[in-house]
Copies of this chain bind each other. A is one copy, B any other.
Amino acid sequence: MEKRGYVNAGVWTPEATVEHPEAVRQLHREFLRAGADVMQTFTFYASDDKLQNRGNTCTASEKIGCELINQAACDLAREVANEGDALVAGNICQTPSYMSGLGKEVVQKEFQKQIDVFVKNDVDFLLGELFCYAEEAEWAIEVMKATGKPVAVCLSICSAGDFEGVSLEECAVRIAKAGADIVGINCFYDPDVCLKTMKVMKEALEKAGLKRHLIVQPIGYKTPECLDHHNHASRAGMSGLAEFPFALESRLLNRFDMHRYAREAYNMGIRYIGACCGLEPYHVRAIAEELAEERGKLPPASEKHSLWGDALRQHTYPWVRARARRSHWENLHPTSGRPYSGALRELASQWENLTVSDKTMRQEKTLTTDQEVQELAKRSEAK
C-alpha cells in the first residue's frame, strides 16, 4: 500500500481503510485471487496509541479513530473473503505503550479496543504479529484467548535475536504455554532466515512436548546478512540494512524464490505459509501454485499465469520463447544491473547490543530533530 500511495513509510498506520477503502478492497481481492485462504484485517499498527503517536489525522478523537479504522477494515476483509471462501483474521501487533514501559493494564487496554471490534464483527480467528518481547506477546494472548477464538501469534526481530536475555527457544515455549494455537514468526527476514529460525522454534516446542500449528510470514527481500554461521539471526533484521525501507528493490524476491520457499516451509511441517513486507499478489500466487497438488486446486489468478514461464511460448521474440522451460528459471542467478553495489552489506553492528533502556529506544511523540538525526547518523556510521 505504501508503493500504491496510501501508507506513509516509517509511520505505517492503516488509516487507508477509512480514507481509501477501494484501494484496500482491491488489494484484498488481488490476494484472494492469488490463492490466499485468509484475509487479514488491514489493522496493523491500528491501535490508538500508535495512531496518536504518529499524528494520524483520523484519530482526532481517540475513540473514533481506532474504532472507525478497525471497523472499516473488518468490513473490507469480510466483503472480499465472501467473494471466495476465505477466513477473516483480526490483526493486532506490538504497541508503543509497551515500548514506553506503560505497563500491563495500559497495553492490554490498547489490544482490547481493537479486539472488541473484531469480536463484534465475528472474525474467524485472531492474529498477533511482530511481538519483539515475549512478555508483550503473553499480555496480548491473554486478551485474545478471552474471546474464545483461535489465536495465532508471530514473534519477531528482537525475540529472534535473543533480545535482552530471552532466547528464541524460550520465547516459543512461553507463547505456546500462554495459549497460542498457532506459533511462528513474521517480518524482518527473508524466507531462508525465517525458516532456519522456525526450525529452532519447532524443535524447542517439540522438546517441551507442546504440539502447536506453525505459521511463518517472511518478508519479500533477500536478507542473507541477517544470519550468522551459528544460525543466529541479527536482532535488527532488515531494518539494520542501509537500504531499509526505501531502497530495498534490488533485494526483491522473484516468483521462483517463492516456489522454493513454499516447498521448504511445507516440508518443515508449516501449514500457515504467509507473506509479510514487500510480497505482492504474484508472490502469493507462486506459493499457491507450488502447493497446487497439496491444495487440490490452482488459485483464480492462475488463469493469467502459466507455471515456469510456459506462456512465453507465445512471445514475439525467439530468444524469449527459448525461456519457456523450468530449467531456465530454476538455474538463473538474477543480476542487479548495479555494478557499484556489493552483494551483501555490513550490518550496523554498533546498534546490535542496544537495550530498551537506551534513551534512543524511547518512543517520543515529537518528531526527531535535524540535530538528532545527525547524531544518530554519526553513531550509525561509526566503526
User: Which A residues are within 8 Å of any B CB, using their own CB?
Assistant: 2-11, 22-23, 26, 29-30, 33-34, 54-55, 96, 99, 190, 196, 221-225, 227, 229, 231, 236, 239-256, 280-282, 285, 300-301, 304-306, 309, 311-325, 327-346, 348, 351, 354, 358, 360-361, 363, 367-368, 372-374, 376-377, 379-380, 383
Contact = CB atoms under 8 A, between A and B. Distances in A.
Contacts of A256: 246-247
Q: Which 7 A-B pairs have the closest CB atoms?
A: A222-B337, A5-B301, A322-B376, A318-B360, A339-B343, A339-B339, A249-B252
9 contacts: A5-B281, A9-B311, A10-B314, A224-B337, A227-B229, A244-B320, A249-B334, A250-B252, A317-B351
A317 B347 CA distance: 14
Nearest to A8: B304
A373 B320 CA distance: 10
A343 B341 contact: yes
Nearest to A227: B229
Tell me the number of copies of this protein: 4
B320 A239 contact: yes
A367 B10 contact: no
Nearest to A341: B333
Contacts of A252: 249-250, 252
Contact of A354 (B221, B318, B332, B354): B318
A324 B247 contact: no
A340 B332 contact: no
Contact of A231 (B229, B249, B323): B229
Nearest to A221: B337
Contacts of A223: 337
A33 B54 CA distance: 23
A315 to B, nearest CB: 5
Nearest to A237: B317
Contacts of A5: 30, 33-34, 281-282, 285, 300-301, 304-305
Contact of A317 (B239, B311, B314, B344): B239
Given A332-B242, A343-B336, A368 B313 contact: yes
A55 B303 CA distance: 13
Nearest to A379: B322
A345 B341 contact: no
A319 B8 contact: no
B345 A240 contact: no
Given A281-B4, A336-B222, A321 B372 contact: yes
B250 A328 contact: no
B321 A99 contact: no
Contact of A246 (B241, B251, B254, B342): B254
A243 B253 CA distance: 13
Given A10-B311, A323-B377, 4 more contacts: A4-B280, A9-B305, A190-B337, A249-B334
Contact of A30 (B23, B227, B330): B23
Contacts of A339: 224, 339, 342-344
A6 B242 CA distance: 34
Contacts of A346: 340
A361 B316 CA distance: 7
Contact of A345 (B221, B224, B340): B340
Given A304-B8, A373-B325, A344 B337 contact: yes
A376 B26 contact: no
B334 A243 contact: yes
A358 to B, nearest CB: 8
A380 to B, nearest CB: 4
A251 B254 contact: no
